[in-house]
A and B are shown apart, each in its own frame.
Chain A
Amino acid sequence: QSALTQPASVSGSPGQSITISCTGTSSDIGAYNYVSWYQQLPGKAPKVMIYEVSNRPSGVSNRFSGSKSGNTASLTISGLQAEDEADYYCSSYTTSVVFGGGTKLTVL
Protein backbone atom coordinates (compact mmCIF):
# COMPACT_ATOMS: atom_id res chain seq x y z
CA GLN A 1 0.00 0.00 0.00
CA SER A 2 1.19 3.51 -0.76
CA ALA A 3 1.48 6.08 1.98
CA LEU A 4 -1.36 8.51 2.48
CA THR A 5 -0.66 12.06 1.31
CA GLN A 6 -0.36 14.89 3.83
CA PRO A 7 1.06 18.41 3.47
CA ALA A 8 4.61 18.55 4.80
CA SER A 9 3.88 21.56 6.98
CA VAL A 10 1.16 23.88 8.17
CA SER A 11 1.29 26.87 10.47
CA GLY A 12 -1.03 29.13 12.36
CA SER A 13 -1.12 31.76 15.05
CA PRO A 14 -2.41 31.15 18.57
CA GLY A 15 -6.19 31.17 18.64
CA GLN A 16 -6.57 30.42 14.95
CA SER A 17 -7.83 27.20 13.38
CA ILE A 18 -5.87 24.98 11.04
CA THR A 19 -6.81 21.94 8.97
CA ILE A 20 -4.52 19.12 7.90
CA SER A 21 -5.64 17.01 4.97
CA CYS A 22 -4.92 13.36 4.35
CA THR A 23 -5.58 11.90 0.92
CA GLY A 24 -5.81 8.20 0.20
CA THR A 25 -7.68 6.02 -2.23
CA SER A 26 -10.95 4.20 -2.56
CA SER A 27 -9.19 1.15 -1.09
CA ASP A 28 -8.23 2.74 2.21
CA ILE A 29 -9.70 6.06 3.36
CA GLY A 30 -12.57 5.90 0.91
CA ALA A 31 -13.49 2.34 1.80
CA TYR A 32 -13.74 2.41 5.58
CA ASN A 33 -14.26 4.81 8.46
CA TYR A 34 -11.01 3.59 10.02
CA VAL A 35 -9.09 6.84 9.82
CA SER A 36 -7.10 7.87 12.88
CA TRP A 37 -4.83 10.80 13.67
CA TYR A 38 -1.73 10.79 15.88
CA GLN A 39 0.19 13.60 17.50
CA GLN A 40 3.91 13.15 18.03
CA LEU A 41 5.81 15.59 20.17
CA PRO A 42 9.58 15.76 19.67
CA GLY A 43 11.27 12.67 21.06
CA LYS A 44 7.98 11.13 22.18
CA ALA A 45 5.79 8.26 21.10
CA PRO A 46 2.71 8.96 18.97
CA LYS A 47 -0.55 9.66 20.77
CA VAL A 48 -3.97 9.04 19.24
CA MET A 49 -6.02 12.22 18.91
CA ILE A 50 -8.86 11.05 16.65
CA TYR A 51 -10.07 7.56 15.77
CA GLU A 52 -12.68 6.25 13.34
CA VAL A 53 -12.70 9.57 11.45
CA SER A 54 -14.19 11.81 14.11
CA ASN A 55 -14.07 10.22 17.56
CA ARG A 56 -11.95 11.71 20.32
CA PRO A 57 -10.43 9.46 22.99
CA SER A 58 -11.06 10.40 26.58
CA GLY A 59 -8.74 13.18 27.64
CA VAL A 60 -8.19 14.69 24.21
CA SER A 61 -9.24 18.32 23.94
CA ASN A 62 -12.43 19.07 22.02
CA ARG A 63 -10.37 21.57 20.03
CA PHE A 64 -9.39 18.57 17.92
CA SER A 65 -11.92 17.30 15.39
CA GLY A 66 -11.89 15.03 12.38
CA SER A 67 -13.92 14.52 9.24
CA LYS A 68 -13.87 12.67 5.95
CA SER A 69 -15.13 13.24 2.43
CA GLY A 70 -14.55 10.61 -0.21
CA ASN A 71 -10.89 9.62 -0.20
CA THR A 72 -9.74 12.57 1.90
CA ALA A 73 -9.77 12.88 5.67
CA SER A 74 -9.10 16.06 7.62
CA LEU A 75 -7.94 17.01 11.10
CA THR A 76 -8.96 20.44 12.38
CA ILE A 77 -7.42 22.07 15.42
CA SER A 78 -9.29 25.11 16.65
CA GLY A 79 -8.10 27.71 19.15
CA LEU A 80 -4.48 26.87 18.33
CA GLN A 81 -2.14 26.74 21.31
CA ALA A 82 1.63 26.64 21.55
CA GLU A 83 1.45 23.12 23.00
CA ASP A 84 -0.16 21.89 19.77
CA GLU A 85 3.13 22.31 17.92
CA ALA A 86 4.02 18.78 16.86
CA ASP A 87 4.04 16.32 13.99
CA TYR A 88 0.67 14.88 13.02
CA TYR A 89 0.10 11.62 11.19
CA CYS A 90 -3.05 10.22 9.66
CA SER A 91 -3.57 6.51 9.32
CA SER A 92 -5.90 4.01 7.73
CA TYR A 93 -6.37 0.62 9.41
CA THR A 94 -7.65 -2.28 7.36
CA THR A 95 -6.01 -5.70 7.13
CA SER A 96 -2.78 -3.76 7.07
CA VAL A 97 -2.01 -0.25 8.19
CA VAL A 98 -0.85 2.74 6.19
CA PHE A 99 0.33 6.08 7.54
CA GLY A 100 0.55 9.48 5.98
CA GLY A 101 3.95 11.08 5.57
CA GLY A 102 3.32 13.42 8.48
CA THR A 103 2.63 17.14 8.82
CA LYS A 104 4.70 19.47 10.95
CA LEU A 105 2.50 22.00 12.69
CA THR A 106 4.18 25.25 13.65
CA VAL A 107 2.44 27.65 16.01
CA LEU A 108 3.69 31.10 15.09
Chain B
Amino acid sequence: QVQLVESGGGVVQPGRSLRLSCAASGFTFSRYGMHWVRQAPGKGLEWVAVISYDGSKKHYGDSVKGRSTISRDNSKNTLYLQMNSLRAEDTAVYYCAKDRDSYSDYWGQGTLVTVSS
Protein backbone atom coordinates (compact mmCIF):
# COMPACT_ATOMS: atom_id res chain seq x y z
CA GLN B 1 0.00 0.00 0.00
CA VAL B 2 1.10 3.57 -0.62
CA GLN B 3 2.87 5.18 2.31
CA LEU B 4 4.23 8.70 2.61
CA VAL B 5 6.10 9.50 5.80
CA GLU B 6 7.26 13.03 6.48
CA SER B 7 10.06 13.91 8.86
CA GLY B 8 12.36 16.78 9.74
CA GLY B 9 9.92 19.09 11.45
CA GLY B 10 10.56 20.74 14.78
CA VAL B 11 11.09 24.07 16.48
CA VAL B 12 13.38 26.47 14.64
CA GLN B 13 14.28 30.10 15.21
CA PRO B 14 13.22 32.82 12.75
CA GLY B 15 15.73 33.28 9.97
CA ARG B 16 17.10 29.75 10.24
CA SER B 17 16.77 26.86 7.79
CA LEU B 18 15.15 23.44 7.88
CA ARG B 19 14.95 20.49 5.51
CA LEU B 20 11.90 18.30 5.43
CA SER B 21 11.89 14.78 4.01
CA CYS B 22 9.12 12.54 2.73
CA ALA B 23 9.87 8.83 2.40
CA ALA B 24 7.67 7.10 -0.16
CA SER B 25 6.83 3.43 -0.52
CA GLY B 26 4.22 1.18 -2.10
CA PHE B 27 4.40 2.74 -5.57
CA THR B 28 6.96 3.55 -8.26
CA PHE B 29 8.13 6.87 -6.86
CA SER B 30 10.10 7.85 -9.97
CA ARG B 31 6.95 7.89 -12.12
CA TYR B 32 5.01 10.53 -10.20
CA GLY B 33 5.19 14.19 -9.44
CA MET B 34 5.03 15.16 -5.79
CA HIS B 35 3.66 18.11 -3.84
CA TRP B 36 4.25 19.83 -0.53
CA VAL B 37 1.14 21.34 1.06
CA ARG B 38 1.03 23.06 4.44
CA GLN B 39 -1.60 23.91 7.01
CA ALA B 40 -1.10 26.56 9.66
CA PRO B 41 -2.70 25.81 13.03
CA GLY B 42 -6.46 26.17 12.75
CA LYS B 43 -6.20 27.32 9.12
CA GLY B 44 -6.82 25.89 5.68
CA LEU B 45 -4.62 24.08 3.22
CA GLU B 46 -1.98 26.05 1.36
CA TRP B 47 -0.08 24.65 -1.60
CA VAL B 48 3.70 25.03 -1.26
CA ALA B 49 5.42 23.42 -4.23
CA VAL B 50 5.37 20.66 -6.84
CA ILE B 51 8.14 18.73 -8.57
CA SER B 52 7.85 16.60 -11.70
CA TYR B 53 8.56 12.88 -11.68
CA ASP B 54 12.16 13.38 -12.83
CA GLY B 55 12.87 16.60 -10.96
CA SER B 56 13.16 18.67 -14.12
CA LYS B 57 10.20 20.93 -13.42
CA LYS B 58 9.44 22.75 -10.20
CA HIS B 59 6.79 25.30 -9.26
CA TYR B 60 6.32 27.20 -6.03
CA GLY B 61 3.59 29.04 -4.21
CA ASP B 62 4.07 32.77 -3.79
CA SER B 63 4.51 32.51 -0.02
CA VAL B 64 7.68 30.39 -0.27
CA LYS B 65 9.06 31.36 -3.68
CA GLY B 66 12.71 32.35 -3.41
CA ARG B 67 13.06 30.92 0.10
CA SER B 68 12.37 27.23 -0.48
CA THR B 69 13.61 24.50 -2.78
CA ILE B 70 11.80 21.28 -3.59
CA SER B 71 13.91 18.34 -4.71
CA ARG B 72 13.83 14.57 -4.90
CA ASP B 73 16.13 11.57 -4.92
CA ASN B 74 14.49 8.82 -6.93
CA SER B 75 17.19 6.34 -5.90
CA LYS B 76 16.10 6.81 -2.31
CA ASN B 77 12.36 7.24 -2.97
CA THR B 78 12.50 10.48 -1.04
CA LEU B 79 11.13 13.97 -1.53
CA TYR B 80 12.65 17.03 0.13
CA LEU B 81 11.75 20.59 0.97
CA GLN B 82 14.59 22.91 1.93
CA MET B 83 13.21 25.96 3.68
CA ASN B 84 15.38 29.02 4.33
CA SER B 85 14.87 32.36 6.07
CA LEU B 86 12.02 30.89 8.05
CA ARG B 87 9.35 33.22 9.42
CA ALA B 88 6.70 32.84 12.09
CA GLU B 89 4.09 32.55 9.35
CA ASP B 90 5.80 29.40 8.07
CA THR B 91 4.59 27.61 11.20
CA ALA B 92 2.41 24.77 9.94
CA VAL B 93 1.98 21.07 9.44
CA TYR B 94 3.69 20.18 6.19
CA TYR B 95 2.22 17.36 4.12
CA CYS B 96 3.71 15.62 1.12
CA ALA B 97 1.24 14.35 -1.46
CA LYS B 98 1.44 12.17 -4.56
CA ASP B 99 0.46 13.87 -7.79
CA ARG B 100 -1.99 12.51 -10.35
CA ASP B 101 -1.78 15.55 -12.68
CA SER B 102 -5.19 16.87 -11.74
CA TYR B 103 -5.30 15.99 -8.04
CA SER B 104 -3.41 14.33 -5.20
CA ASP B 105 -4.42 10.78 -4.42
CA TYR B 106 -2.29 10.03 -1.34
CA TRP B 107 -1.12 12.25 1.48
CA GLY B 108 1.29 11.70 4.33
CA GLN B 109 0.37 12.36 7.95
CA GLY B 110 2.41 15.55 8.07
CA THR B 111 5.28 16.97 10.07
CA LEU B 112 4.94 20.06 12.27
CA VAL B 113 7.26 23.00 11.79
CA THR B 114 7.20 25.68 14.47
CA VAL B 115 9.12 28.88 13.87
CA SER B 116 9.66 30.63 17.15
CA SER B 117 12.42 32.30 19.12
Interfacial residues, chain A to chain B (CB-CB below 8 A) = 1, 3, 32-34, 36, 38, 40, 44-48, 51-52, 57, 87, 89, 91, 93, 95-102
Tell me the bound Cα distance from A48 to B37 in angstroms: 14
Task: List the count of A-B residue pairs having beta carbons below 8 Å apart.
Answer: 62
Q: Assuming the A-B contacts A95-B59, A96-B50, A96-B61, are A48 and B44 also in contact, with contact meaning beta carbons closer than 8 angstroms in the complex?
A: no
Tell me the bound Cα distance from A41 to B107 in angstroms: 13
Looking at the complex, which one of B44, B47, B103, B104 makes contact with A102 (CB distance below 8 Å)? Answer: B44
A51 with B103: CB separation less than 8 A: yes
User: Which secondary structure dominates chain B's binding surface?
Assistant: strand
Stretch of B19-27, B68-76, B84-92, B94-102 lying at the A interface: B94-102
> Does B77 lie at the interface of the complex (its beta carbon under 8 Å from any beta carbon of A)?
no
B44 with A99: CB separation less than 8 A: yes
CB distance from B48 to the nearest CB of A (A): 9
